[in-house]
Amino acid sequence: MTEQDTTHTIERKAVSDRATNWLWLSIAAALLAVAGSVIALAVHSIYAGLTPAFLPQALAQDVGNLAVASPALLILAALALRGSLRAYLLWMGVLTFTIYNYVIYTFSVPFGPLFLLWVAVLGMCIYALIGGVTTVDHGAVAARYASRRAVVIVAWLLIVTAVLFGLLWLSEDVPALLAGNKPQSIIDMALPTNPVHILDLGFFLPAVIATGVLLLKRKPLAYTVAPAFIVFLILTGVPILLTPVVQTARGMTATWGVVIPIGTLVVVLLGELVWLLSTIQPHPRILTRKV
């Protein structure tokens, strides 16, 4: 047995063999997602009912899915099937991002030919994520992190990033509520509510903050889901960065102002993710001291 095979065998102990089923389910979901994105980009009538403000966002999301999210889901699932713990933790992050996107597809894009495909991807990814999280020995995962400093910095980065996004969304929603009006983003997209604000304020941002707090308290579950939420935050930046490109390609006024702040955040998060993953050891190691 090679040293690499030994590492894979050791890492596999942190994740139950039952996770194989959920990994294969996510592969099926990723293939469906690829087919859906190709069709949506090729058939103009799919998004015919979207407003000029919403359309480039939807197209950018499909490009991001096709170029980044779906390939990442396939590659990470394949590596996780070979026993890579790091790939498994990242895989859960891509699943989270995919669920987030397909909630928006299914609830906000007008009913059309891809509706059932989007519902299928959403359901498969939800079950894969639930199964993936519940088949992990979170204590064994926590014992693999060799740097308490990296963990603490990631915890605060998660908290601060989530709070800033929450304040950004509230800065649009609260004044509109006080004035008795709809936020401009809702008017531009011709939607009853903003799905991004609902998902972020109601679910994902509180979960990111809770994960950061639990990391500071050394709770085992947080060590498993922290890399996933960093991946989630990184991937949410991809369609935002692609939207001005799509707008320019379609001859529209591009919102290039978001590129610098979102791009900087993505780079910082990516750097922190690489550092955090580099501290994961192949052998269990209890974090008893600060590094």
Classify burial at 26, counting beta carbons within 10 Å of its beta carbon; exposed 0-12, middle 13-18, buried 19 or more: buried
Within 10 angstroms of residue 286's Cβ, the number of other Cβ atoms is 10
β-partners of residue 280 are 145
Ranking 132-141, 264-273, 275-284 by mean pLDDT, the lowest is: 275-284
Q: d(Cα 91, Cα 128) in Å, to the nearest integer?
A: 10
- The pLDDT value recorded for residue 113 is 94
Q: Report the alpha-carbon distance of residue 195 to residue 200 in Å, rounded.
A: 8
Band of pLDDT at residue 7, cut at 50, 70 and 90? very low
Residues 93 and 232: beta-carbon distance below 8 Å? yes
Average pLDDT of the chain is: 90
Per-residue pLDDT at 287 exceeds 80 = no
Residue 148, classed as helix, strand or coil, is helix
> For residue 14, what pLDDT is reported?
77
pLDDT score at 289: 32
Give the Cα separation of 247 and 230 in Å (integer): 27
Per-residue buried b or exposed e for 129-139, using 16+ beta carbons within 10 Å of the residue's own CB: bebbbebbebe
Query: To which H or E segment does residue 133 belong?
Result: helix 115-134
Helix/strand/coil for 250:
coil
Confidence of residue 178 (pLDDT cuts 50, 70, 90): very high
* pLDDT surpasses 50 at 269: yes
The predicted model gives 17-35 an average pLDDT of 94
Q: How confident is the model at residue 12 (pLDDT cuts 50, 70, 90)?
A: very low
d(CA 4, CA 215): 29
Mean pLDDT of 212-240: 95
Beta-bridged to residue 89, according to DSSP, are none
pLDDT at residue 19, as a whole number = 86
Looking at the predicted structure, is the pLDDT value of residue 217 above 50?
yes
Q: State the DSSP string of 22-59.
A: HHHHHHHHHHHHHHHHHHHHH-GGGGTTS-TTTHHHHH
Average pLDDT over residues 43-72: 94
Least confident of 95-104, 131-140, 204-213, 274-283: 274-283
Instruction: Count other C-beta atoms under 10 Å from residue 166's C-beta.
Output: 17
- Tokens 């993710």 appear where? 273
Mind listing the pLDDT tens digit for each residue in 32-50?
A: 999 999 999 999 999 998 9
Largest CA distance in the chain: 68
Percent residues over pLDDT 70 in the chain: 92
Contact 158, 208 (CB under 8 A): yes
Q: Which amino acid type is present at position 27?
A: I
- pLDDT of 205 higher than 90: yes
Kindly tell me if the per-residue pLDDT of 1 is higher than 90: no
pLDDT given at position 283? 57
DSSP assigned state of 136: B
Q: Quick check: 218 pLDDT over 90?
A: yes
Res 288: pLDDT: 32
Per-residue pLDDT band for 13 (boundaries 50, 70, 90) equals: low
Q: Express as a percent the part of the chain with pLDDT over 90.
A: 82
Q: Which amino acid does the sequence have at 7?
A: T
> Who's near 131: CB < 8 A, 6+ residues apart?
18, 19, 21, 22, 25
